[in-house]
Structure 1
């Protein structure tokens, strides 16, 4: 008996039973071939670059004004408007007495001498400013003639005290020298100084006063480095009870109103005291 059961599959297989060829996984292909990775990344970059160029080209076209006779015009570069630096503030308000000249007096070593602990043998008063969160005690000695100088100067001049000292300290000292606030018209402190090469300079040109009507009395030549011709120099005061520097200043203040230009009065004063202009 012959068996009818086929021993081999037929060569023609139905479509439903045909096995489909599997496509290789892109990820596996990239892993298998490193060069393909680089090529794929390069294509991505180039495609992205082309798209960006198209986008920015559109922006350029939109931003270019239409012209009847010409084609596209190059967009103008808009300059950055940097804000101008603020003008330096005028330290002094308009003078209360327009007809008067202005005398600017230094404080430390010109009108007074002050030191911290230990206390000296001689001092006139103490002040205790708070500086950097710490209470400090200053022992202040007035220069001989300071009270007379301030009173006489206030009769004919606009009196300004301009110190390179800290406001916290100097304010308390000036309150002792002028308790009623009737002598000193204005007070200027370190924050009104100009710092040049690590030194505090008192620039008279920004004070709102004509330089031919201003005189500064100071023991430190660095302070009046910008306008030495406006300075009446004095020797530094420490603790000499026989000091006579302020008496010389009072003599100058007596003759200064006779000169149209205060600088001429200063030259006259210096020559009378044997001081050459080059020595200032």
Structure 2
């Protein structure tokens, strides 16, 4: 330990390690309310003559360190004690402040617990008294139900519990199993039904500090509705937005009244945190329904009726997707297929269904142009081609 201590002590004049050391007793010193423990070590600087002297004289030199010698140079090590930094009065004041703050926190927690307890008891009591009460007919008589033979307190509890279950079920399920009215009589009813999500497909919701929420029209929206709207398709807007926010937007968007019906969030099924659109509740033949939505979870109940990998529009002005989509939908409507799901299955195998359709359309148009030119050079009327739609909807016969 002493050798380690020597390794940290150097002479202030020559920088060498002194040979003669003396460790004095520890002392305590109080400075600015802080206590320091001091250990004083003295060493005597050696002259060249001292260095050449024999070792027996070293004990005499070491003993001279204890006297008052001007050649002694102190080297002091200090260690801060673990005593508190502040005085006793300051410590007591901080302690009182901490205790007061802790008491305030406990008091606020107690008041909050009382408030929540009263609110919870009041809410439960209201539900039991209102939802648990028996129904009354027009004459003021109590309508008997399955709980009428039970004790009164049990009747109220069971009816209220049943009311909570029914209320939660109305949130999860659509408002009706028949969301659309019966089809129009022929020839006014279109053969196919096109179901479209509003947000991300036709419009893009945007928020600004000055204007709040606004909806931006997708490029080509007016052309799209004109090409595929009534009477080509029975267009139904089926959105997860609320009716009080989306109804007026749909009305302003459809100036030519091409959209026949609108369905909102209350008409969806709430499954695993997602608003799922159940096409089976539309009161239409599933063979004739095409669904467009960028959210794959929204059509998880009828995936064959949807066009997969449909990209969400994020508001860019150079988008041309609706123009291409209008050509694709008009092709299906003109083909007269009995089950549109077969056509959708064929295109859903591709990475980009719309891009695949455009490539095939271009190739078939080039083939038709070659046939027309050959017929013109031979001065014979060209026969109407029957392979255009069959080539676009796939090799399978529908």
TM-score tier (shorter): 0.5 to 0.7
Alignment of 1:119-138 (within 5 A): 137-138=212-213
Root-mean-square deviation (Å): 2.9
Residue 277 of structure 2, aligned match among 182, 187, 202: 202
- Mapped pair 1:95 → 2:173: no
Aligned length: 181
Per the alignment, residue 242 of structure 1 pairs with 318
CA distance in 2, matches of 1:99, 1:207: 15
The structure, 1 or 2, with the larger RCO (C-alpha pairs under 8 Å, 6+ apart) is 1
Unaligned runs of 5+ in 1: 1-78, 120-125, 127-136, 276-280
Please point out which of 145, 149, 154 is paired with 2:220: 145
8 Å CA contact 2:189–2:234 kept in 1: the answer is no
| Matched residue, 1:226 | 301
* CA shift in 2, pair 1:99/1:114, >3 Å: closer
Whether 1:177 and 2:253 are equivalent positions in the alignment is: yes
Q: Is the contact between residue 255 and residue 265 of structure 1 (CA under 8 Å) also seen in structure 2?
A: no
Secondary structure of 1:161 counterpart:
strand
Decide whether the 8 Å contact of 2:190 with 2:233 is kept in 1: no
More off after superposition, 218-227 vs 86-95? 86-95
Deviation larger for 251-260 or 196-205:
251-260
Q: Which residue of 1 aligns with 2:343?
A: 265
Residue 151 of structure 1: CA displacement? 1.1
SS at the partner of 1:140? strand
Residue-by-residue CA offset, 1:6-25 (whole Å, 9 max, x unaligned): xxxxxxxxxxxxxxxxxxxx
Q: Quick check: 1:201–1:222 contact (8 Å CA) kept in 2?
A: yes
1:211 aligns with 2:286: yes
What are the Cα deviations for residues 154-177 of structure 1, in whole angstroms up to 9, with x where unaligned? 131101001000111111211121
Alignment of 1:161 onto 2:252: no
**Unmatched 5+ stretches in structure 2:** 1-144, 148-161, 163-168, 354-398
- The answer to whether the aligner puts 1:111 opposite 2:189 as a matched pair is no
Check if 1:256 corresponds to 2:332: yes
**TM-score normalised to the size of structure 2?**
0.42
**Counterpart for residue 131 of structure 2:** none
